[in-house]
């Protein structure tokens, strides 16, 4: 293939011609209405380049991808305070599982499962202010797109059905690990998850993770902290499919039930893919397949 554009077009076409199976989540009704057969990819290079194919400029619901930006903001406000409250281990369990939390006295395994992200939301409320606003500010600035916003319909749709997350947050509050104002934590968490942005926005917004923490106007994180975030993405970013993703793609990644997946190629680029159909673990079938295809033709895997 002559150029990265040719390669991206080829990989997009390959996945496009074998449409993925899978379906959208039903517990966020507004997401179930998104047309399922869309497929987008954007590759943002550390040199400022941008290569795209398909539905790369269509906004999608970030969902758990927002947890990555929330984590970065919480770390930039002081990693010790945050790590005093949660762990860094893969859970090997569903992203919304209640089981481990009881075993571990309300201390979440990692910041990407829902329990951990609810705790990060609570932490941000204390150290920075409204978590959804903090995430919005970061992604708008890094993507250079002031139009990125919360999709209030998606937020309301999830909030009305957030019984599982409420159970997680109430359990943590009962253990004293999360603030007792659970409704406030849930409101900010669901609005943060409902931020809508395109693959192009996402690839640019996360580019600091491929650039040793360097954002558009200065460091978002230190180089050491950036390495650690990438390590957490690799081990925990795709929940109980983190092993499969490491095997097939071999890059730090973060998925969301909106169908997006971000993958970081340290020192080179960030790839954002989006395709709404999900597998049983809540990860984009077409998105992961597209990343797998791309890595098969490049030396991008970290292994």
Catalytic residue numbers read: 64, 67, 189, 239, 257
Which CB sits closer to ligand DON, 56 or 284? 284
Sign (positive/negative) of CA torsion 246, 95, 227, 261? positive
Binds ligand DON (CB under 6 A): choice among 101, 134, 193, 229: 193
Minimum distance from residue 127 beta carbon to ligand DON (Å)? 21
Buried b (16+ CB within 10 A) or exposed e, 38-76: bbbbbbbbbeeeebbbbbbebbbbbbbbbbbbbbbbbbb
Q: Of all helices (H) and strands (E), which one includes residue 42?
A: strand 40-45
DSSP 40: E
Which CB sits closer to ligand DON, 191 or 211? 191
**Region 58-117 residues binding ligand DON, contact defined as CB under 6 A:** 63-64, 95-96, 114
Minimum distance from residue 63 beta carbon to ligand DON (Å)? 3
H-assigned helices in the chain: 4-17, 29-32, 65-76, 79-83, 99-103, 114-127, 131-143, 152-159, 163-175, 182-193, 199-205, 223-236, 242-248, 285-296
- Please identify, among the stretches 51-59, 78-86, 178-186, 254-262, the one whose residues bind ligand DON according to the rule CB under 6 A: 254-262
Site size for ligand DON, by CB under 6 A? 13
Sign (positive/negative) of CA torsion 283, 190, 54, 237? negative
Among 62, 270, 85, which residue's Cα sits nearest to residue 179? 85
| Burial class, 237, CB count within 10 angstroms (exposed 0-12 / middle 13-18 / buried 19+) | buried
The structure tokens listed for 91 are 């859970």
- Please identify, among the stretches 69-77, 209-217, 252-260, 294-302, the one whose residues bind ligand DON according to the rule CB under 6 A: 252-260
The structure tokens listed for 7 are 């390669």
Binds ligand DON (CB under 6 A): choice among 24, 97, 110, 283: 283
Which CB sits closer to ligand DON, 56 or 283? 283
Binds ligand DON (CB under 6 A): choice among 44, 120, 257, 290: 257
Minimum distance from residue 36 beta carbon to ligand DON (Å)? 16
The reply on whether position 282 binds ligand DON by CB under 6 A is yes
Minimum distance from residue 271 beta carbon to ligand DON (Å)? 17
Site for ligand DON, rule CB under 6 A: 63-64, 95-96, 114, 158, 165, 193, 255-257, 282-283
């Amino acid at each position: 293939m002559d150029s990265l554009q040719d390669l991206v077009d080829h990989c997009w076409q390959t996945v496009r011609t074998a449409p993925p199976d899978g379906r959208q989540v039903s517990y966020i009704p507004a997401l179930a209405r998104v047309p399922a057969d869309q497929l987008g990819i954007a590759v943002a290079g550390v040199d400022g380049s941008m290569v795209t194919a398909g539905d790369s400029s269509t906004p999608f619901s970030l969902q758990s991808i927002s947890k990555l930006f929330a984590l970065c903001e919480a770390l930039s406000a002081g990693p010790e305070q945050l790590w005093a409250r949660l762990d860094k281990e893969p859970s090997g369990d569903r992203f919304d599982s209640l089981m481990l939390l009881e075993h571990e006295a309300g201390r979440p395994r990692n910041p990407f499962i829902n329990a951990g992200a609810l705790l990060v939301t609570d932490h941000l409320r204390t150290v920075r202010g409204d978590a959804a606003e903090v995430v919005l500010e970061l992604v708008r600035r890094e993507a250079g797109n002031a139009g990125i916003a919360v999709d209030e319909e998606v937020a309301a749709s999830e909030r009305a059905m957030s019984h599982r997350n409420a159970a997680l947050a109430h359990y943590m509050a009962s253990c004293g690990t999360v603030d007792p104002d659970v409704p406030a934590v849930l409101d900010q968490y669901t609005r943060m998850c409902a931020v809508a942005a395109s693959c192009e926005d996402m690839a640019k917004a996360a580019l600091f993770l491929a650039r040793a923490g360097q954002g558009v106007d200065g460091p978002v994180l230190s180089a050491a902290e950036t390495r650690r975030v990438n390590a957490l993405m690799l081990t925990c970013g795709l929940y109980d499919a983190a092993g499969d993703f490491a095997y097939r793609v071999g890059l730090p990644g973060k998925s969301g039930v909106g169908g997006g997946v971000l993958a970081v190629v340290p020192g080179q680029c960030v790839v954002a893919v989006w395709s709404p159909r999900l597998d049983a673990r809540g990860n984009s079938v077409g998105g992961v397949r597209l990343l797998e295809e791309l890595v098969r033709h490049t030396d991008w895997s970290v292994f």
